A and B are shown apart, each in its own frame.
Chain A
Amino acid sequence: MRDVAIIGTGEIPVDEHWTTGIRHLMLEAGLSAMRDANIESVDALYVGNMLSGEIVGQSHLGALAVDFMGLDNAEAFKVEAACASGSAALRVGTMAVASGLLDLVLVLGVEKMTDTSGQETSAALAGAADAEYEVSQGISFVALNALLMQRYMYDYGWKREDFANFAITAHANGANNPFAMFQRPISAEMYARSPIIATPVGLMDASPICDGAAAVVLAPAEFARALSPAPVKIKASAVGMAPLAVHDRKDPLALEAARISSRKAYAQAGIKPEDLDFFELHDAFTIMAALSLEAAGFAERGKGVQLALDNEISLKGRVPMATMGGLKARGHPVGATGIYQVVEAVMQLRGLAGANQIPGARLGMTQNIGGSGATVITHIFEAMS
């Protein structure tokens, strides 16, 4: 197996892109990553996406992307794992390069979510859950997270406002990210006053519906320095799985797939959680941020919220998270999210994160959660320059 490196990244602002269709979202992010990598062709293009069939009515994204990007000799197909689709595509690309089958791979994440009404998009997103035994009962994706948050508060005695700092931190960091959907800070009062969507989850606990696309170019690490002035090595790529439906998990608050995925990733990279300079976790909901911190080994069970209360998740804290705004403020264009996380991690490791730069960052981790925790994909990155 060969080591794999990222030699270029590209992203477009996360927003409601009324004037841009899905093919041009892919095009802009993909070409931007190829420009950054200083290459004009690739061997393959893998697209992470969840909802193109349901929302845009466009399946077969791989063929569309290589066609419109003029990448005539590249193989291409879509990879789907609900909200973890982006990281799943990165995983596929990493395997292709690591195995020696391919040399240059473009990995794209894209999602167009705003061409339909909020209710339609919400119903499509619910497809990440068990259609016959969860969604059929009137469950929305928000409601699944609400069920977890309610039980977490009951088991460990937290109140809703104890979760506020996850959202406040994400927004504070998003304020300095020109690619973030929300570039403004929020206050504890704004969090407390935000309308409830499904008790106890409020608007400010939840990431927004939005459009976005991001891309990275992969190459064998041995050639990476020749191709890029600041390559970043993929030190670990690991997937963990848990039952699809929340009710089928023996311990729903354990986020077992995240624990498995993190543990595998630490073993591959030969590191411990405390060696990481930052953790781009999947804060689709504040409860997910808390559960992720626990499952990844940064807090004991029931104590993830304490890290937020103690400000340990800020840029200067012990476990900086959502360093460019996270899912909450940068936005959560589902299939693109995993790649946005990686683009931001690479930015930190190249020292290009501007006002949000973590001084001397060498080692970072991204974690992308599919559904309410059935698929969890973790990557660890190391600066090579």
Chain B
Amino acid sequence: MTTKVADDWRLRGQRYRLEGERCEHCGEMIFPPRDICPACKKPTKTTHTLSGRGEVYTYSTVLSAPQGFEVYAPYTVAIIKLEEGPMITAQLTDVASADIEIGMPVEMVTRRIRTQGDDGPITYGYKFRPVFLGQGAE
């Protein structure tokens, strides 16, 4: 899979700031933005930035990685249930895979997701780290 520069630019609000939406009709919190509320199916355009706090719903340590991610293996992907309600798929970082548990509180950080050779674009985006390791780690 090749990451395209236009994609990275178009998705910057979601990748760097977790910009979602809040449905003005039913109050549903939505990530990523859909412009149609998945709950009430009405049009929604109100941007709402999510807190980036949540907990691990499930996780997997990838040992055999797809093309473009081989150099990062092993790495751990997870589905995070954000405190506002939506779930999001992301890598976990700053934690040994043996220490990961379902229900573990995590928070969003901005990290490099992948590079494409020496000359290709570098994709940045969200990963999640355990809350208790976060303070002062940067």
Interface residues of A, Cβ cutoff 8 Å to B = 117, 119-120, 122-123, 126-127, 130-140, 142-143, 146-148, 150-151, 154, 195-201, 243, 245-248, 252
Contacts and interface: CB of A to CB of B under 8 A. Distances in A.
A123 B1 contact: yes
Contacts of A142: 62, 64
A138 B114 contact: yes
Contacts of A201: 60
Given A123-B1, A248-B87, A197 B66 contact: no
Contacts of A248: 38, 87
Contacts of B38: 243, 248
B5 interface: no
A138 B102 contact: no
B16 interface: no
Given A246-B89, A247-B79, 18 more contacts: A131-B1, A132-B7, A132-B32, A133-B14, A135-B66, A136-B123, A137-B77, A137-B89, A138-B75, A138-B77, A140-B66, A143-B62, A147-B60, A148-B58, A198-B63, A243-B38, A247-B87, A247-B88
A157 to B, nearest CB: 13
Interface string B79-92: 10000001111110
A200 B59 CA distance: 9
Residue from the set B7, B32, B63, B64 with the largest chain A CB neighbour count within 10 Å: B64
A150 B86 CA distance: 20
Contact of B113 (A126, A136, A150, A195): A136
Given A143-B77, A246-B89, A136 B125 contact: yes
B40 interface: no
A133 B32 contact: yes
Contacts of B77: 137-139, 143, 147
Nearest to A152: B58
Contacts of A130: 89
Nearest to B59: A150
A138 B62 contact: yes
A196 B88 CA distance: 24
B79 A246 contact: yes
17 contacts: A120-B67, A133-B89, A135-B1, A136-B7, A138-B66, A139-B89, A143-B60, A147-B78, A150-B60, A150-B102, A196-B63, A197-B63, A246-B79, A246-B89, A247-B89, A248-B87, A252-B79
Nearest to B70: A119
A187 B97 CA distance: 29
Interface centre among B11, B89, B97, B102 (most CB of A within 10 A): B89
Interface string B40-77: 00000000000000000111111111111110100101
